A and B are shown apart, each in its own frame.
Chain A
Amino acid sequence: MTLRCLLVDDNQHFLLAARDLLEREGLTVAATAEDSAGALGRAAELHPDVALVDINLGGESGFDLAARLAPIPVIMISTHSGEDYADLIAASPAIGFLSKIELSAIAVRDLVAAR
C-alpha cells in the first residue's frame, strides 16, 4: 500500500518540488498546507499516514503543530541541521527528523516503518 502523506511548509517552492519528488518516488502526497490551521484541517479531512512538518512555519512552531496532529505520526523537516534541534526533536512526539535536502520516499518509509 502506498504511504499517504501531508506536507506542511510555509515555502511554496519547497512544497511544489517536494511533492513532485515524493510522488515520482512512489508516495502519495494527499495534501499540502502552508500553516498550522491549514494542516490541522487537511489532516482531519484526509487522515494521512504521516505528516512532514517544517520546524519553522513562519511565525508558528512546527513542534506545536506536531503535538496537535497526534495521533498522526509526524516527521520534522528543516533546512537547518538536525543537530541544532536534536533536543527539541527528542522531546517532541515526532517520530524523526529529515533534512530537506535529504528528503526521499525511502527515508520517509524507513522512519515510518521503524516507529
Chain B
Amino acid sequence: MDDAETLVQLRRLALLVAQGVPPEEVFAAVCKEIWRHFGGSTARLFRYELDGTVTLLANEGTTGPHVRVGERWEGYPPAGLTASVQRTGKIGRINDFRELPGGQKYADEGLISAVGMPIHANGRLWGMIAVGSSEGRLPDDTEARMAAFTELCAIAVANAQSRAELVSSRARLVAAADEARRQIERDLHDGAQQRLVALALRLRSVTDADGAAEVAADLMTVIDELRELSRGIHPAVLSDSGLRPALRALARRSPLPVEIDVRLDARLPSAVEIGVYYVVSEVLTNAVKHANATVVLVEVSVGEDVLELCVRDDGVGGADPSRGSGLVGLTDRIAALGGTIEVASPPGGGTTITCRVPV
C-alpha cells in the first residue's frame, strides 16, 4: 500500500471525527481502515476501562462466538495480547495461537499470529489495536508499520470519544443549571413568597398590637428563610472574602466535625473559587448523607499553576457516581475549568475526592 492511499484513508477518518459522528462509527471505521491497510485477516479495536475490564469496540475479518462487538471482552488468556498490552502498555506479539495456552479459540477462528499496539490517550493506556493473520507469522516489520499508522488512528479514536464526552457533559451542565433555577423558583414561590402573601393578608386584618407583633415575628422567619435561600444561590462571603472564609463557614454549618486546612494567600479566579466551593459543599453533604463518617478533612493548596483540593472522610466508602447526579455534576464542573477530579472510595476505606484545577 502506498503513501497516497494511506493519506486518503487517514483523511477519511479525520473527516468522520470532524463531522462528530457517534464514537461507535469512528471505532468501526478505524478498524476497517487498519484491516485494509495491513491486508491481514483480522483487525480489532479494544478499550481498557477504568475498572480493569476490556470492551471490544470494533471487529473486522475473522470472527467467532467470543467476538461480540460493543460488549465485554472476556476469558482472554494471561499470556495473550489483551492481557500483555494491558500489563505492560507496550506492543505485544503472538506468533502462533496454537502454542498459546488458552489460545485455542483464536486458532479456531483461523488466526495464526497477531500483533497488538497500545493506544495511549490523556496520559493513560486507553486501548489496543490488534491485527491478526491467518496466513502464518506476521512479517517482522509489522510492528514498525503499525506504530506509525495506529498512532494516527488512535488520535481519531480518542478524539471521537472525548468529543462525545464533551457533548454529553455540556448537555448535563446546561440541564443542571436549568434545574437549579427551577428549584430556586420553586423554593421562592412555595416558601418566602407564600409566607409574605399570607402575612400581607394578615396585616389587613390586624387590629391590635399583639397581632402586629405576631406578624413581625413571622416576618423574621421569612427573612431567615430568604437568607438561607440566597446563600444557597451564591454564598456572599465567597465573592467578598474568598475561599478560605467561605469554606470555614461551610464547615461550621456542617453537622459533622470538619477539619479544614486552606493554604492560600491570594484570591483566585472566581470560576475556580466557585467550583472548589461547590465540590466541598457537595462532598460534605455526601459525607453527612451516605458515609456514616466521624470526621471530614478538607485541604486546599496552590502550587505553581494548579490548585489542589482533597476532601477525605473516614466513612463506609463505596461511593458510585452512577447512582446520583452530585458527583457527575462535580466532574462536569471541574472538567469545564480544565481540571480533573478523582474519587477513591473502597468499601470500608472512607472516601477521598482529589481535585486539581489549573489557575
User: Which one, B189, B198, B204, B205, contacts A13 given CB within 8 A?
Assistant: B198
Residue among A11, A16, A80, A101 making CB contact with B200, cutoff 8 Å? A101
A22 CB, nearest partner CB in chain B, Å: 9
* Residue contact A101 to B202, C-beta cutoff 8 Å: no
Query: What is the minimal beta-carbon distance from B205 to any residue of chain A, in angstroms?
Result: 5
CB neighbours of A101 from chain B (8 A): 197, 200-201
In the complex, the answer to whether A21 meets B197 with C-beta atoms within 8 Å is no
Do B198 and A11 have beta carbons less than 8 Å apart? yes
B219 interface residue, CB < 8 Å from A?
A: no
CA distance A96 to B189 in the complex (A): 22
User: What is the chain A residue whose CB lies nearest that of B215?
Assistant: A17
Contact A14 B205, beta carbon cutoff 8 Å? no
Which residue of A is nearest B218, CB measured?
Answer: A13
User: Are A14's CB and B200's CB within 8 A?
Assistant: no
Contacts of B239 in A (CB 8 A): none
Asked if B202 and A79 sit within 8 Å, CB to CB, the answer is no
B104 at the interface (CB under 8 A from A): no
B205 contacts A24, C-beta separation under 8 Å: yes
A83 to B317 CA separation, bound complex (whole angstroms): 52
Q: Which of B135-193 contact A (CB under 8 A)?
A: 189-190, 193
A58 CB to closest chain B CB (Å) equals 9
Give A1-35 as 1s and 0s: 1 = Cβ < 8 Å from B's Cβ atoms: 00000000001011011101100100000000000
Check if A14 sits within 8 Å of B197, measured CB to CB: yes
Contact across chains for B190 and A17 when beta carbons are under 8 A apart: no
Q: Please indicate the chain A residues that have their CB under 8 angstroms from the CB of B199 in the complex.
A: 17
B201 near A18: Cβ-Cβ < 8 Å:
yes
Task: Name A's interface SS.
Answer: helix
Beta-carbon contact of A21 and B201 below 8 Å:
yes
CA distance A16 to B195 in the complex (A): 11
Per-residue interface assignment for chain B, residues 78 to 95, with 1 indicating a CB less than 8 Å from any chain A CB and 0 otherwise? 000000000000000000
Give B193's nearest chain A residue, CB to CB.
A79
Q: Closest CB-CB distance, B346 to chain A, in whole Å?
A: 40
In the assembled complex, A100 has its CB within 8 A of some CB on chain B: yes
Within 8 A of A (CB), among B180-234: 189-190, 193-195, 197-202, 204-205
| Cβ-based interface call for A103 (8 A) | yes
Give the residues in chain B near A14, CB-CB below 8 Å: 194, 197-198, 201
A21 CA to B211 CA, complexed, in Å: 13
B205 touches A21 (CB 8 A): yes
A93 to B200, CA, bound (A): 29
Say how far B69's CB is from chain A's closest CB, in angstroms: 44
Among B235-256, those with CB < 8 Å from A are none
Q: Mark A73-115, 1 if CB is under 8 A from B, else 0.
A: 0000001100000000000000000001101000000000000
Q: Which residues of A contact B200 (CB under 8 A)?
A: 101
Q: Given the interface contacts A21-B201, A21-B205, A103-B201, does A13 sit within 8 Å of B193 by beta carbon?
A: no
Nearest CB in chain B to that of A104: its residue: B204
Q: Closest approach, in angstroms, between the C-beta of A91 and any C-beta of chain B?
A: 23
Inter-chain contact B190/A21, CB cutoff 8 Å: no
Chain A positions within 8 Å of B194 at CB level: 11, 13-14, 79
Residue A20 contacts which of B195, B197, B205 (CB distance < 8 angstroms)? B205
Contact, CB under 8 Å: B195 / A21: no
CB distance from B94 to the nearest CB of A (A): 62
A20, B193: Cβ atoms under 8 Å?
Answer: no
A21 to B202, CA, bound (A): 7
17 A/B residue pairs, CB under 8 Å, sorted by A: A11-B194, A13-B194, A14-B194, A17-B197, A17-B198, A17-B201, A17-B202, A20-B201, A20-B205, A21-B202, A21-B205, A24-B205, A79-B189, A79-B197, A100-B197, A101-B200, A101-B201
Q: Which residues of A contact B (CB under 8 A)?
A: 11, 13-14, 16-18, 20-21, 24, 79-80, 100-101, 103
The 10 closest A-B CB pairs, nearest first, are: A17-B198, A13-B198, A17-B201, A11-B194, A17-B202, A100-B197, A14-B198, A24-B205, A21-B201, A21-B205
